[in-house]
Structure 1
Amino acid sequence: MQNSDPRGLYAVIGVSPVATAEEIKNAFRRRAKETHPDTSSNPSATLFQQVNAAYKILSDPEARAEYDSSGYQASAEEVRHKQLDPVCCSRCKQATAQPRYVVFRRVYSFILATIRTPVQGIFCASCARKEAFRSSLITMCTGWWGVPWGPIYTIGVILGNGFGGEYSKEAEERLTWYNCLAFLSRGNVDLAYSLAQMSRKASDPEISSRATELSRELEKTGVDPKRSRLKNPWNFGLVERLKHLAMVAAVPLVVAGIFMQDQIASWWTGRPVPRPSYTSTYTPPPRTTKAVPAKIVPVTNACSTRPRNGDALDGYGNAISSQGHVLEIRNGSGGPAIVKVRDSFSNRTIASFYISDNAAAEYPGIPDGSYRIQYAVGDELRSDCRSFFNTAAVGQFPNVERLQTERTSTQIITQHLTYTLYAVASGNVRPQSLSMEAFDAP
């Protein structure tokens, strides 16, 4: 139809009136190369200027909307002498009584680059809803991943699409008035009257006055004003908007779910979530930590049954509490170690554990309280299986660990302490020296 390209701008560039912004850009580059005096075998300065002028209008969403709707104009004289074609939806190609020129947008992100591209045209209300959903869905999948504008553009575009996109009220009024005359030329006076009533409220005084005059003439012919009413199909209801709001929240919720899977699992199962605290790194004293050679150990008084790695030696059972804190010991000190947990107020030994050389063990169920962590590194265990014949290092970590369980309405949060018994160049903890008598105290 001539209405969709009134001045032939689409024809100059070589695309159809329903071409996308990307198609128009690609066609412009091709046509500019074909007509440019420096790159074309048949240069044409006039045609090159026409191509540039056409692209200047069609590449701007607002200017393009104004151009597309400008073709739909008619006079009373035309109505008397010929039938006019009603405005058709650019997507489904069906005539629609209440068309609207709408611009929806999509966002594409490429890590450090984010672009917004328009999808526009004359829509019926049904196709507009479909395009709004499609554009928001594409944006949800492709828009978040740019830095820094991806999330900002994505949220704005999806919400804009969900509320009906961008449209010009003046362009809509021209389309409505044209349709009023088109249906009148085809003898559908009831529909023409309804559209004339809508056009009476137009901001353009010429359209408003002509619509008022036409309404009066049609009423004189017997049109019933009460029967000739149209519902507004362009109200994007609550359900439509909720769909777009869900798309706004979808990606952030997925990302949050990945980083908060422990908390979600805790809420779902009712089990506590261990909360990592920090790692204390042991810097050993200057003397060697290597165990004394076995030949000088009085084997006759040695522990008859050597504990396994992770065994509790005193005052501890793994069933103290299924919802307590976790103590993790990593031993790389050069020999087996005994680790003690003492109450910081009474200095009483709460628990002691045996850790094999180059091994690690976890002890769940540590109750709330304030504790000091002590260690001894040695060789063979004595007959009591709770002390060494020869010790290479004895000490305690300087900090008092205050363990306190946090409870919320959905989860129980405990602490996870990690102690590492070996020298690290950048170690952040220097243990305090401790006598063997103090370590062996009950």
Structure 2
Amino acid sequence: MTTTYPDPKGYYAVLGLLPGADLAAIKTAYRNRAKQVHPDRNPSEAARQEFQAIVEAYRVLKDVVYRAEYHATGVPPLVDDGDDYPATPFACSACGKITVQPRYVIFHQVKSYLVWAKRTREEGIFCRDCADRIAARNSTVSWLLGWWSFPGLILTPIALVRNLFGGTKPKDQNARMLIRQARAFLALDEIDLARALTEQASRFARLSVHSRQIEQLRAETGQGGRRLKNRWALWNGGVFFAQALPLVALPLVLGVGALIALKPWEPPMAARAGISVQAAEIGDIRYVAIEDLKLRQSPVDGAPVLTLLDRFTTVQVVDVTSPEWAQVRTPSGVVGWVTRRALYAGTSALHKQEWCAQNPGSTPEAGEVLIRRATGEHRLLIHNDGRRDAVVKLKTLGGHTVAAYFVPATHHIGVGGLPDGTFRIEFASGSHYSRACGVFTQSMQAALLPFTLTYHQISAARLKAATTIPEIVLVTAPGDPKQPQPLDTDQFARDD
């Protein structure tokens, strides 16, 4: 709640404020009013007197203890840290109730605006209950609005930690305030309360004048008597734990997020920096982790090579009697020996997809020849009216790739240099083509056209006079009898 106070000396009025305005409003009003009536700008006698009144009002209202005295007694302080004291105790500046154990506290708040952050302070002399509510309010605003800029990432944790530990309590102001509060209760013959407040003031006292006043109060209040429970201990009430819980949970949430992102429970995948490997055991399903692994006839470096295994070929371990070698069976049934450090656990599907995505290479040009294993004099037109890029392969009836071309979406290209023979036509479409793997890493689909393409040897004269060039269309209309037949993507990726 907002508490208003009487203004017997007109300090708030001279600044153009309502009684009870906060410190930020007081400072702003003083700067604006002082500029208007400063003697350098307005030499009149009336302006000089108004300027002196503004300075006097600001001297009292800018200081939290002086302002509290003015609110409590209606009388401005006589001298700085003097022996005068108010006739009534200070009240909480939030709820307006007299509090036995007041504190001058500053709470912090941060709001972010994408590229910058605004820090504000809420301060006053508070009772513990009001301080808890104000701390919770400022921390909640900072949690919700403080993180959304780079400065906010730094300022918000600082504000939250300060509020968590009860806000900022300036020592000199709290010593002055508690000494004057002790004097007020002493004037009311509340000796025990005055004595307790004196001891609380001693924890803040740093200046010699405050130490002298505390010793004087101790002499007047004596020793012993009833002790007050410290209302400002952190563990009093649940607000400290309510603010601490999200701060404790934050690193846990970040840690869980990091675990989800890094997935340390999954086996590491092959990357450009190298391949991570594990020892193989009999019966394990493994995949080849290096390019062109030599499958040898026996576990010796110089043994004859049976075949070369491509990276990510899945094999089954048959024997591991040698510490450096493992006997494996390939998908085609060939059994031979490979070095154990070249195998990694599991099948290759997920790891191959991730590796291919990380090693895309440069994007092919329209009509670029990706593979050419034979040449000739024939030509072909390829139409890709779809919205996804495509790779078209001409394969022999035995499944060997003769040529492969890259056809971007909505492109129509002509290719040449095709040899004699009968070819079946396979194509794959998708996005983000990887040269390293010869596949699309996103939304890849493969198909086989339901016809073959045959080229015959003809004379140079007839070839020169030919005006008809064969054409193939990758995207056909629904109901067209020449609809492509679905094809397994792994089968499409295999060239031989």
TM class, shorter-chain normalised? 0.5 to 0.7
Tell me if the contact between 1:28 and 1:55 (Cα under 8 Å) persists in the aligned partners. Answer: yes
1:372/1:135 Cα in 2 relative to 1: closer, same or farther (>3 Å)?
A: closer
Displacement of 1:66: 6.0
Pair 1:118-2:121 in alignment: yes
Q: Which residue matches 2:97?
A: 94
Q: What is residue 358 of structure 2 aligned with on the other side?
A: 277
Which string of whole-angstrom CA distances, capped at 9 and with x for unpartnered residues, describes residues 3-59 of structure 1?
Answer: 9989865443233564235534664576468758989xx98354357547866996x
Cα distance, 1:110–1:218 mapped onto 2, change above 3 Å: closer
Alignment partner of 1:167: what SS? coil
Gaps (5+ residues) in structure 1?
293-329, 343-353, 363-370, 383-387, 392-420, 422-437
The aligned residue for residue 108 of structure 1 is 111
Q: Deviations over 1:127-165 (max 9, x none)?
A: 11211121121122222223x422212121121121222
Contact 1:331 1:355 in 2 (8 A): no
Residue aligning to 1:345: none
Instruction: Note if 1:174 corresponds to 2:255.
Output: no
CA contact 2:175–2:201 (8 Å) conserved in 1: yes
Alpha-carbon offset, residue 232 of structure 1: 1.9
Q: CA deviation at 1:171?
A: 1.7
Counterparts in 2 of 1:355 and 1:121: CA distance versus 1, 3 Å: farther
- Answer yes or no: is 1:232 the counterpart of 2:296: no
Q: 1:5 to 1:208 in 2, by over 3 A?
A: farther
Letter in structure 1 aligned against 2:358: S
From the CA coordinates, give the structure whose radius of gyration is larger. Answer: 2
User: Are residue 332 (structure 1) and residue 390 (structure 2) matched?
Assistant: yes
Q: Aligned partners of 2:98, 2:148: CA distance in 1, in Å?
A: 40
Mapped to 2, the partners of 1:355 and 1:46 lie a distance apart of: 97
Q: Which residue of 2 aligns with 1:129?
A: 132
1:67-94, Cα deviation, whole Å (9 max, x unpaired): 5367687999988xxx921111100111
| Partner Cα distance (2:9, 2:240) in 1 | 38
- Residue type matched to 2:156 in 1? T
Q: Does the 8 Å contact 1:140/1:251 carry over to 2? A: no
Q: Which deviations, in whole Å up to 9, do the C-alpha atoms of 1:222-270 show, x marking residues without a partner?
A: xx81x51112222223964554455558889989999998779x99xxx
Structure 2 partner of 1:190: 192
Among candidates 290, 295, 301, match of residue 381 of structure 2: 290
Contact 1:289-1:334 within 8 A present in 2 as well: no
Q: Residue 170 of structure 1 contacts residue 204 of structure 1 at CA under 8 Å; is this kept in 2?
A: yes
The structure with the greater share of residues assigned to helix is 1
Q: Which amino acid aligns with 1:126?
A: D
Between Structure 1 and Structure 2, how many residues are aligned? 313
Structure 1 residues 331 and 260: CA distance shift in structure 2, 3 A: farther
- SS for the counterpart of 2:125 is strand
Aligned residue identity for 1:176: L
The CA deviation at 1:170 is 2.0
Per-residue CA deviation, residues 194-228 of structure 1 (Å, 9 max, x unaligned), is 22344466444455445445445544xxxx81x51
Kindly tell me: are residues 49 and 187 of structure 1, through their superposed partners in 2, closer, same or farther at Cα, counting changes over 3 Å?
closer
SS at match of 2:104: strand
Evaluate the alpha carbon distance shift between residue 69 and residue 111 of structure 1 in structure 2; reply closer, same or farther with a 3 A threshold.
Answer: same
Matched, 1:389 2:453: yes
Distance change in 2, residues 1:4/1:215 (3 Å)? farther
The amino acid that maps onto 1:13 is L
Give the conservation status (yes or no) of the 8 Å contact 2:30–2:54. yes
Partner of 2:299: none
How far off its partner does 1:179 sit?
1.9
For 2:260 and 2:199, how far apart are their aligned partners in 1?
A: 58
- For the aligned residue pairs, the C-alpha RMSD in angstroms reads 5.6
One-letter code of the match for 2:390? G
Inter-CA distance 70–168: structure 2 relative to 1 (3 Å threshold) = farther
Maintained 8 Å contact 1:87/1:179: yes
**Cα contact 1:336–1:357 (8 A) shared by 2:** no
Question: Would the alpha carbon gap of residues 180 and 379 (structure 1) be closer, same or farther in structure 2, given more than 3 Å must change?
Answer: closer
**Amino acid across the alignment from 1:47:** E
Residue deviations 1:248-301 (CA, integer Å, cap 9, x gap): 58889989999998779x99xxxx998553545444229976349xxxxxxxxx
Q: Secondary structure at the residue paired with 2:369? A: coil
**Using the alignment, how far apart are the partners of 1:120 and 1:192 within structure 2?**
25
Residues 102 and 166, structure 1, Cα contact 8 Å, conserved in 2 = yes
Given that residues 104 and 135 in structure 1 are in contact (C-alpha distance below 8 angstroms), is that contact kept between their aligned partners in structure 2? yes
- The TM-score, its normalising length taken from structure 1, stands at 0.52
Residue 381 of structure 2 aligns to a residue whose secondary structure is coil
Query: What is aligned with 1:411?
Result: none
Rounded to whole Å, the distance in 2 between the matches of 1:189 and 1:125 is 22
Equivalent position SS for 1:108: strand
User: Which amino acid is the alignment partner of residue 118 of structure 2?
Assistant: I
| Amino acid aligned to 1:151 | L
- Asked if 1:165 is matched to 2:256, the reply is no
Gaps of 5+ in 2: 267-349, 371-377, 402-424, 441-445, 456-473, 475-492
- Residue 96 of structure 2 aligns to a residue whose secondary structure is coil
Matches within 5 A, 1:247-266: none
Identify if the C-alpha distance between structure 1 residues 379 and 195 changes in structure 2 by more than 3 Å, giving closer, same or farther. closer
For residues 395 and 37 of structure 2, the distance between their equivalents in structure 1, rounded to whole angstroms, comes to 85
